[in-house]
Structure 1
């Protein structure tokens, strides 16, 4: 019997959801909204396959370990804080996926009993501290993904057990050994090279890797070696750039360096490599044009040695900035013509004034480009005609000091940038003007017709471009991020037109402004954007005062994020955001005051998060005015020692989370007045020793989670106190 829920995001599972389906063998909840797994799931004694990602509750019922025939279990992306201690009782389990479970901190001691486990995915478990001993017993494991943990793997312990996992085919270690010493990383990889069955090894984004052992050549079955983002990798062993061992390598980060005689470089080794990802650094070390010039393909046709490598999907050329060079960068780049099938292309550190012929005719040579990045091209005074790339989706331009204007030549004709979705302009200190429209030709008596640049743009990021002005109107985009670029905020509208003059207006906008020193009432850009529904203001000054016109622009904001540093008082205009539903506040001030009565009109506010208020000593008095508030999260407020009494008036509050509030020594007795409270979570508040005597008054409290509060956990386990919390249906105390 198979049960699969299709397009059921709005359906929640009840406590008796599976009580009548005891013959079920396959259960797929991947398209269902899962608040929590019901206890009745333990009645599915025949269940072999359970796909239940994105569980929204901290607790997974212990009774799940009674599913003795379970072979496949997927809990990826869930909010669960721990696996059941008895997880090792699932003796038939072969596939376990808990990737992206960012609240899990450790695996239970019984984990090593899962002897039949073949597939284990622990990637992106940001809080997880991997215990090598728990992995050492998994001798049948074939797929192991430990990528992107919150902390680097313990290399010492991993060295002891990795050699035992002889059945491994896939090993994911992306960003997993980033904090190890270079010698530690080298020795660990050398030990990995004893795994003769290994086919795919992901070592990407590990800054600890400076070199690879020659023993990697022993991995005869290896077809994919991913070294993307290993930015300090000095060189590759010769075995990785020989034809017989690199035909199927996924990624090569190749460091160009002078050969022993200093008369030539090693770039010729790449003639036999054909990876999907190729990053060539140190191009200033090319000694002559002969090393990169064209090679003979037929008697009639000559081409670059890279042009024929059609397997390459990503290609990056990098010169070390300010380094001396034997060959001009333009000449080197002219000889490195990429394959026409290339999708992603990046140039960094190029120091010539102009580009070679193939870059200036990029539509002809690289028509399939999807993403382009140009960084640190400090002498280039004009941009290549990227607007004619028909498939370009992302464009990243940064540190191009000689560029002063972005204009018509960037588009180079009609229908420019038809598919561009993301644009980043960063650290371009001399960029002064961006002409956001262009002429797309003659149309009879109408003459020249203007079109807005980037008609499909979704996200625009502008960072540290202090002189930049956009004329005559802002481009059309849904998401805006502006940092350290005050002219962009203030200069819009100089031409008297908006992007709506040239293209249909968007329904809403998401805006983030960082590090602005300009007073809020001068942010004219906001007047020319669609309705702003999501606004983040990070480390900006001059927020206290606004204008009636700007308040009207902000009146439809539903989500607001404020990171304050210069004022104790919240801005008065905050109380005028009638539709505000979510508010996040961070401050480095000792208090967080608001003008009297200014917040009482926030009748739509449902969620408030105070986070990283590291010297805040008491919750603000104005909290009591938020009578419609349903969720309150107070995170990482390490000096907080008092919950203000005004909070007792939060009669609609359903969720209260306290995390890393280490100076709170007791919860107030008025906590029992929060009659609507359904969920209480206390984490890493080590000074709290007990719950208040009023806790039994919380009749609607269904979920209690206490983690890393040792004295409070001990209090809850005393017999006389168990009665006080017996009415709470779900209790997770560890």
Structure 2
């Protein structure tokens, strides 16, 4: 660990082998004021401490973990991440929490090996660059207590993204519905219908069938029930639980161009029905679906039957199909009698019920 005040003195000297760097901002403002009394330090000099020195590729080539720490009420903290952050090609973990960042440089997309990015408690953080979608190895993104206004839909390209944590910093008691704005912004990006939210909505259903979607809009993952208590008087009986964002109970993304079911779907912990039939390039059902406690009903194409768990019960929507097709589905085992294409053509969509 090195203090931000001392960083300039040690940077570049023997750091070529450094794999973990912890930069501590604690006491930087106090140290600056002490030195200001001894020398003629200007505001421009103070501004230097609100960013980092040039992160040269040669000096920090082996760096895997960068943690820039700050503490509450510190007057000097990280406000601008330099473009040179993109030089740290081997970086796996980047923790920038508890600072005062508003955005990230486009060069963040160069960090192809980045797995974890923590931007929580940056109260003025409002925008992620489109280049965030280049982080193919990113699996954890934390944006708790930020002021995020929208998601770049390029983030949906991050195939390994498993954890997306978002909550909003409520400024002057005015932004309860920030989450709803982000949701509707994501819907507009894909030319999908937006939604009118009100404080009494506890759950919703979403029909996104036939929208030519190549991925599930990121805003959908925000539909996980969140709420807070409002106190309308001195008597506790007058308190009321207001829903800021409702829970998604039913999602129809059939008749689209989806190629995968992303792990982020697991965030929808109250989802009961999922319709994913007639996505021609969707050829696999992930195991995490069976871990979703609320999920009770699926609608899938015949080629996906082989991925069903043992507790699944299957029925045909269309009773005119051949009995042999139904038998194949109920056994959940093709046994080589038909190719996946044949099974898909002869059976179409199955309703799957999951025992809980």
TM-score (norm 2): 0.45
Q: Which has the larger radius of gyration?
A: 1
Higher relative contact order (CA 8 A, sep 6+): 2
